[in-house]
Structure 1
Amino acid sequence: MDEMNRLWKKRCRDNFQMQLRYWNLIGRNSGLMFFIYAMILIGGFYYKKWLDLLPDHFPGTLLVSILLTFVCAHAPIRTFIRRADLVFLLPAESELDDYFRRSRWYSFMIQSVTLLGVWIISMPLYSHESGYGGSSFLLGAVVLLAAKAWAIDCSWQEQFIEDTMPLRFLRTVLTFCLFYFVLSRQPLYVIGACVAIMLLTLFFLFRRQASGGLLHWNSICDSDNRQAMTFLRFANLFTDVPRLRRRTRPRRILSGLFPVQHFEEKEVFKQLFIKTFLRSDEYLGMYVRLTVIGALLGFFLNVGWFSVFIVVSVLYLTGLQLLPIWSHPFPQALAGLYPISKRLKNDPFVQMIARFLVGQAAVLSIAAGAGARSFIDFLLFLCTGFAVSLIFAYVFTKRRIRQPAE
């Protein structure tokens, strides 16, 4: 038992030190901190203006409840389990109760910080719509922490159950009902009934099904690996991460739209970069998600100049997340096989970044212009987006890929 506790502490400490080193590099070697400060200052200013423009019938409580539900219902357990543990720790599973209990508490504390941060950001919107003040914040914080603890416990029981999709849907719905009932100040008997259903579901559905199942070690290992890779992919945007594992998907339909048609020197890296964007890691999914989120924000917020900030922010974040394609191991491994100049690699990459950002700027500008219902605003968004895209590609990107560290 003591050996297992020491093992958990050692792995937790190693993970903390690893993340601390990367955060130190991120803070020193990139403009992330400046960008975050700018987002906080400008976003806070226009957040207040957006609240003042909201109509009286705006469903703020419903929106806050949905947002908090998504953050709370996502409750993966960080166990620090490694692939080799499936061999060496599996025989000692009966002695790992305290090890996994520590993992659940660790996951609860880390995720609670994020959940409370979202609640703090959402509080002005909720107060604006409901009129409730500081006491509501404390009450909401208590309910959020209790719901997160319940979600963590349910998530752990799911590790012993085969078909978890219906259970995840059920606990997501119950979490939303609890948040909405509390935030909309429903009668106590309604809230009490929801809490009773959640507890009965935990003890007589989740735990009863889990009691007859075996621990899914592969699922735990995969979940822990995904959580670790999420942070490493983020750190890789700003510094080289040797431990990062990359995945390649076939995506035959999309890849078939860009077949290898030319074998000239100038086409080599152009085709490699396009294939890497389409098939490797999450570049394509990231690009689509940021474009959709930016378009929705630009359309629905509709607060004048703040839409320019949305367009610029999304373009900057997208550009940062496309930069790792340059150092992707696939084109790098083949670089020495082609006796071509470095310019024939640099130019296609810069042009690809420019095209992607310009296309995204057009979509964001159309959405923001439609929300503003102004052709002049659309032209403003479009010109600003194009300017930022070209500056990022032909100035910032060129400077980054010429650095000897990369």
Structure 2
Amino acid sequence: MADFFSQRLQRHQKHMMRYLRYVFNDHFALICTFLVGGLGLYYSELLKTLPQPFRLGGWIVLLLWVSVLPIGRLATLTKPADLIFLLAKESQMTAYLKRALRYSLWLPFGVLFLVVGASMPLIVVSVAVPFSYFPLYVLMMWLLKTSDLYLQRLHLYQDTSSRCKRQRIIWVLVVVASISSSLWFSPWIGLLLAVGQVLWFGLVLKVPQQLLSWDEMIQEEQTRLHRIYRFINLFTDVPQITAQAKRRKYLDWALHWVPKVHKNTYLYLYLRRLVRGGQYGGLYVRLTVIAAGILCFVQEAWISLAVGCLFIYLIGFQLLPLANEFQYMVLTHLYPIQAEQKNEAMKKVLALLLFFAALIFAVIECFTLTTMSQWALTAGGYFIFTGGFLKLYMPNRLKKMNA
């Protein structure tokens, strides 16, 4: 069964690699480079202004580390058909799940490595711990995550829910105790507590004699994959994600201003798709809220300008596929409408959304920037960049999409 998991893992990775090349494209890499660089510079400048010792910093790190530990689910890679075809191999599933647990440790390790690394400067300022303790913190967090995956594996068996709840309480208490002691006493104490928890869970949470809960195991895996597909769907179409239309009658007022005439056919269709569908409308709201949240904490004008322009570009780039949303609907090809009207409708929709986002960013900067000249420069930059995107980038992009 261990070899069977390796074969299934190989097919799963090959399947995911086909999508990841669309996720980590040039645009996404460029945005991440500027965003990470800008936030890193702002973070370093902020640390210089903090008093030493900054006692609140330890509590911030504690809350952050406790929050990131649940990231990463047990990847069993099971499929609905396994309920029938692997049921006869249930006695051999122990080796399969052991390999699944090992594989599930790598993604959390990468996330924890980055989070702990980003937190180290704040730890040095807050609790005066040297950078040399960084490997101890990473190892402690990884061991705590390992015990969490032990609990997730135990939950896959029948009649273990009450037992899992009791052990989950113990896990939370040990996590808080380990992180707290490593921050305010010694990293070695936190590491010893994490090692003790892994050893304890390895003995107490050993593979039980109960039968597997196949339905729950398959459902957990499908839920995990659905989260991944939802993220990938932000960059490209995923067949596993099906869009669902919702009536949302309370938003009908937003479309009353559109005159119901022949030339506004696609304008109404695009706006109705944004209102009723969760894919594009939800994407616009999420990106706008994230950008607004970041700008609330940025007080440098040029960083605010860069972050705002990057998110305006990202919003526009992600909404451009809306232009071909009705391409495969038969009725739309029966409309006596020219292609130019379709492109003009798309330009109006994007202009409305992007200028509204730029207005929100400008209003936020009115409260975060110190001088009026900085605000005027930043707000003007938002609107100029939006106009350039609509006039220069968007027509060429639509031409390539329609080619």
TM-score range, shorter chain: 0.7 to 0.9
Q: 1:320 to 1:214 in 2, by over 3 A?
A: same
Alpha-carbon shift at residue 263 of structure 1 (Å): 4.6
Q: 1:95 to 1:61 in 2, by over 3 A?
A: same
Q: 1:214 to 1:47 in 2, by over 3 A?
A: same
8 Å Cα contact 1:290/1:318 also seen in 2: yes
8 Å Cα contact 1:304/1:372 also seen in 2: yes
Aligned residue number for residue 384 of structure 1: 381
Q: 1:153 to 1:324 in 2, by over 3 A?
A: farther
8 Å Cα contact 1:350/1:393 also seen in 2: yes
AA aligned opposite 2:292: A
For structure 2, which runs of at least 5 residues remain unmatched after alignment?
none
8 Å Cα contact 2:182/2:191 also seen in 1: yes
Q: 1:55 to 1:284 in 2, by over 3 A?
A: farther
Higher mean displacement: 206-215 or 174-183? 206-215
Is residue 99 from structure 1 mapped to residue 96 from structure 2 by the alignment? yes
Is residue 34 from structure 1 mapped to residue 43 from structure 2 by the alignment? no
Q: 1:81 to 1:228 in 2, by over 3 A?
A: farther
Aligned residue number for residue 274 of structure 2: 277
Larger Rg computed on CA atoms: 2
Is residue 179 from structure 1 mapped to residue 179 from structure 2 by the alignment? yes
8 Å Cα contact 2:124/2:131 also seen in 1: no
Alpha-carbon shift at residue 403 of structure 1 (Å): 0.7
8 Å Cα contact 1:49/1:303 also seen in 2: no
Distance 1:282 1:179 in 2: 39
2:121 to 109, 121, 124: 124
Aligned residue number for residue 299 of structure 2: 302
Alpha-carbon shift at residue 109 of structure 1 (Å): 0.9
Aligned residue number for residue 355 of structure 2: 358
1:286 to 283, 286, 290: 283
8 Å Cα contact 2:178/2:194 also seen in 1: yes
Alpha-carbon shift at residue 182 of structure 1 (Å): 2.1
Alpha-carbon shift at residue 250 of structure 1 (Å): 1.8
Alpha-carbon shift at residue 140 of structure 1 (Å): 1.0
Aligned residue number for residue 214 of structure 1: 213
Q: 1:89 to 1:353 in 2, by over 3 A?
A: farther
CA RMSD of aligned residues (A): 3.8
Q: TM-score, normalised by structure 2?
A: 0.81
Q: TM-score, normalised by structure 1?
A: 0.80
Distance 1:95 1:336 in 2: 56
Q: Deviations over 1:39-86 (max 9, x none)?
A: 344443333223223355473332233333322212322222233334
Q: Deviations over 1:286-314 (max 9, x none)?
A: 33333333223222242443222222232
For structure 1, which runs of at least 5 residues remain unmatched after alignment?
none
Number of equivalenced pairs: 396
8 Å Cα contact 1:369/1:381 also seen in 2: no
Distance 1:324 1:263 in 2: 24
8 Å Cα contact 2:58/2:183 also seen in 1: yes
Distance 1:271 1:360 in 2: 20
Is residue 155 from structure 1 mapped to residue 174 from structure 2 by the alignment? no
Higher mean displacement: 191-200 or 123-132? 191-200
Alignment map for 1:74-85 (pairs within 5 Å): 74-85=71-82
Q: 1:288 to 1:141 in 2, by over 3 A?
A: same
Alignment map for 1:299-338 (pairs within 5 Å): 299-328=296-325, 332-333=328-329, 334-338=331-335
Q: Deviations over 1:191-219 (max 9, x none)?
A: 87798789879987x88999688341442
> Percent of counterpart pairs with the same letter?
21
Distance 2:169 2:288 in 1: 27
Distance 2:390 2:55 in 1: 39
Distance 1:371 1:392 in 2: 26
Q: 1:120 to 1:193 in 2, by over 3 A?
A: closer
Q: Secondary structure of 1:297's partner?
A: helix
Q: 1:378 to 1:13 in 2, by over 3 A?
A: same
Is residue 223 from structure 1 mapped to residue 223 from structure 2 by the alignment? yes
8 Å Cα contact 2:71/2:108 also seen in 1: no
Alpha-carbon shift at residue 382 of structure 1 (Å): 1.7
Q: 1:275 to 1:371 in 2, by over 3 A?
A: same
AA aligned opposite 1:64: V
Distance 2:281 2:401 in 1: 27
Distance 2:367 2:271 in 1: 31
Q: Deviations over 1:125-156 (max 9, x none)?
A: 33233332222211211111112112222233
Q: Deviations over 1:226-272 (max 9, x none)?
A: 14414531441xxxx46352231525255544468865333322232
Distance 2:171 2:250 in 1: 36
1:45 to 31, 37, 41: 41
